[in-house]
Amino acid sequence: MFVKPNYLRQIMPSKRYNSVISFLIIVATIYLSFSSLMPKMISDATVPLTEFSTERALVHLKEISKKPHYIGTKEHKKVREYIVEQLHKLGLTTEIQQQVAINKKWRAGTTTQNIIAKIKGTDSSKNLLLLTHYDSAVHSSLGASDAGSGVVTILESLRAFLAKNKQPKNDIIILISDAEEIGLLGASAFVNHHSWAKDVALVLNFEARGSGGPSYMLLETNGGNKKLIEHFVATNPKYPLASSLMYSIYKMLPNDTDLTIFREDGDIEGYNFAFIDDHFDYHTAQDSYERLDKNTLEHQGSYLMPLLTYFADADLSNLKSNADYVYFNLPYIGIVYYPFSWITPLLIVLSLLFLGLLIYGFTKQKIKFKSLLSGFTPLLLSLVISGLITFYGWKLLLKIHPQYQDILHGFTYNGHWYIAAFSALTLGICFVIYKKYFNKEDTLNLMIAPIFMWLLINIAIAYYLKGAAYFIMILFYGVFSMVLYLFSKKENLSILLTVLSIPIIIIFAPLVQMLPVGLGLKMLMVSSVLIVLLFGMLIPVFSQYKNHKNLGRLFIVLAIVIFISASFKSTYSVDEKQPNSMMYVLDVDKNEAYWASYDKHIDEFTKQFLGDNPTEGSYDSLSTYSKYGTNIQWHKKAEVKTIIQPIIEMVKDTLIANKRSIHLKIKPQRVSNRIELISKNPILIESFKVNGQPYKKYDNEEYVVALRDHGKTVLSYYLALENEILDIEMTIVDPVQPEFFIYETSYDLLESMHFNFKPRSESMMATPFVINDAIVVKKQINLD
């Protein structure tokens, strides 16, 4: 009989403390998984001149985010001039590329004014391009995060890079693009019309979709990611945050950045660096200097400096690949990666090993078929109950707090509290359900169900979502846990398995938060399901805890406390403003006018326009475009004001061989910001030009515009120049008797002398993503 030596007894924890130690390790690991994602301190102005300083970058940010500076405004010009001045101070020669650009996908067009500069290298064959945009979102955003943060990251990094007084091998092009917010038009102007574009081999793009949180690296490539990942690892950034899962999902979603244009139109590779937390500030008046997380800006700088230094001298001639890597990040280690070709062999090996362990367990009678099946019951119950409670719980909260629906981002100001509350509730449900089975069934038999579930998930991933193939790490952990339970003496096993679970927790705990943050609180149910599945794999640890019932109660009580706290934080305030919308629409053909709002609920501000009894729905079947398909919710007839309407000049209108060719000019007679062309009927357009620039026709397309529904936008053109005229040429195939309307929009309702009303309170702001604070003139184009 083996007797444990005294020194081992002294250093090994007593069984009574195993649970406490294990629990503390898990809590500490979860904390580490979040705290290690990004810097916790910013670099001040005392760091060497050859290093990035967030404090120095913030000086620029304060200047360029004082007021909204969307395209066509005076502030837009001021911001452009400030950036040009700073580039000149760095010794760079700048160019303003003024170019009409259109994006058929977004049906958008404007005259862009890109800011371009270049650092000459010793070898100009292939160029590195630094990219961000300087326009803010229409119409009230201050643009501090999106993308003022990108502008100042590039300015400060360039200053530090040039302070080294070393000429790079590659030319470095700086493109501070225009009109990104209205359809990636500045990027389109550069890629399709500038002579430097043909020599660009790699793009580093800096973006934002919120005002804080860690910055994620997302690739853009038409091929495989192999070489881009190898180069990214070689740059050795201090806080790399990336995974092939995010890359795979990003490719499937309709999300675009300026870098998308480089990939689609120029077949140019690149990296996006973007942060997405505090999404509720995105495109609003709260996207301000004060609300930007300064540590987030530090994170952006921690990416650009090593990447700029590396790619300035790297070989950029061979970045393309047909192979893909699975990759993910680990704190203090960096990016871990392996080829897609490993996915299936790893899965086969683990599947066979799992099967072999099952057979061995049956033959040794350590695994019993009835007990194995019984292990599926608590897992499925936990999945179903947690999933349903989370899904319908969020819907109930939307009923209790209807104001949450005012925030079109899908993520409320107290959204993180709800993530924490539903996470705690899910853990409480798991402990309560599993309590009975922990006491009744052997741990080994309870482990089989979650391992089998993760095996099925990994099989599905191998076929449908290869970027998530690193989920196989969980399967490794589960199978190894089986090995330990089948072949080891079980003393102090919970501590060992807790330690072995650290990489799993570090990788997957942030996903619980990232999914609702990135995709909206409607994803809370997915986070809940993920927690249950992770809990299942940690059964070897949790089964050895004492007082499962009390732990379950503790998490449920914690959830209730967090829910109550979230409710106290559900109201609007000066720092967390209530969004609302209003516009005045004048139909000059009918000589009628309307007040209209996209808000589901009428508040103190909108009531002064809509009154006590507004009409539900829109004033017309035709309505102006909104980003997320948000429809007008309320309208009311208004007094007809004398708003000067645009002049529509018909230059040409001919019908030849059942094709109608139309050439018209629209001349605004007031200061306007946008002209939208809408077709009342479905329409097929063979060719379409805007101020001389055509919509592209791709190889598989017969028509450049094919609108199958009624009342769809053909073009949204943003007026960027003084006295700008919109010149449209098109050839229509069907119908030859179209009905077109224009909506001429100006964002000056609040300043107009035509109206008298109380301004918004300090706890209110304009709703983003919709036409807001606008005077809209609707007019039909008369065709013979």
Q: Which residue, among 369, 495, 482, 379, has the nearest Cα to 430 in the 3D structure?
A: 379
Q: How far apart are CA 574 and CA 493, in angstroms?
A: 53
In whole angstroms, what is the distance from residue 204 CA to residue 705 CA? 32
- Give buried/exposed letters for 144-157 (b at 16+ CB in 10 A, else e): bbbbbbbbbbbbbb
Looking at residue 88, its pLDDT comes to 98
CA distance 494 to 484: 11
CA distances from 82 to 53, 75, 326, 552 (A): 19, 10, 42, 58
Q: Residues with Cβ < 8 Å from 325, sequence gap 6 or more?
A: 224, 225, 226, 229, 244, 337, 338, 339, 340
**Cα angle 40, 42, 45; round to 5:** 165
CA end-to-end span of the chain:
105
Q: What is the torsion angle, in degrees rounded to the nearest 10, for the CA atoms of residue 28, residue 296, residue 519 and residue 203?
A: -120
φ/ψ (deg, to 5) at 203: -125, 135
C-alpha–C-alpha distance, residues 77 and 532, integer Å: 53
- Tell me the pLDDT tens digit for each residue of 195-227: 999 999 999 999 999 999 999 999 999 999 999
Backbone angles phi, psi at 208, to 5 degrees: -155, 145
Residues forming beta bridges with residue 616, ordered by sequence position:
634
In our burial notation (b when 16+ CB lie closer than 10 A, e otherwise), range 644-655 reads: ebbebeeeeeee
The region, left, alpha or beta by phi > 0 then psi within -120 to 50, assigned to residue 334 is: left
Residues lower than pLDDT 70 in the chain:
1-16, 252-255, 490-492, 625, 627
Alpha-helical (H) ranges within 253-365 are 258-266, 294-311, 343-363
Alpha helices in 208-243 (DSSP H): 226-235
Map tokens 């979603």 to a residue.
Answer: 253
204 in Cβ contact with 304 (< 8 Å): yes
Three-state SS for 239? coil
Which pTM was predicted? 0.94
Whether residue 185 contacts residue 100, with contact meaning beta carbons closer than 8 Å, is answered with no
- Going by the DSSP 8-state scheme, the letter that residue 144 receives in this structure is I
CA atoms within 13 A on the CB side of 186: 27
**Burial grade of 589 (CB within 10 A; 0-12, 13-18, 19 or more):** exposed
Phi and psi for 148 in degrees, rounded to 5? -55, -35
Closest by CA to 545, choosing from 105, 135, 84, 17, is 17
pLDDT of 602-646, one tens digit each? 999 999 999 999 999 999 887 776 767 788 999 999 999 999 999
Residues 6+ apart with CB under 8 A from 384: none
Which 8-state DSSP code applies to residue 693? E
Encoded tokens for 380: 């499925």
SS3 of 45-82: the string is CCCCCCCCCHHHHHHHHHHHCCCCCCCCCHHHHHHHHH
For residue 14, the model assigns a pLDDT of: 56
CA dist 182 → 107, 133, 765 (Å): 10, 11, 21
Angle 572-573-579 (CA atoms, 0-180°, nearest 5)?
55
Q: Is the CB of residue 718 less than 8 Å from the CB of residue 677? A: no
pLDDT of residue 493: 82
What are the strands, taking DSSP E only, across 369-513?
none
Decide: helix, strand or coil at residue 113. strand
CA distances from 599 to 399, 401, 574, 766 (A): 16, 15, 19, 11
pLDDT tens readout for residues 234-247: 999 999 999 999 88
For 43, list phi and psi in degrees, rounded to 5: -85, 130
Token pair belonging to 588: 């000059």
Q: Mapping DSSP to helix (H, G, I), strand (E, B) and coil, where does residue 361 land?
A: helix
Rounded to whole angstroms, what are the CA distances from 657 to 306, 444, 496, 728? 61, 78, 81, 21
How distant, in Å, are the alpha carbons of 232, 238, 326, 507, 645 from that of 243?
12, 16, 8, 10, 52
**Model pLDDT, residue 9:** 47
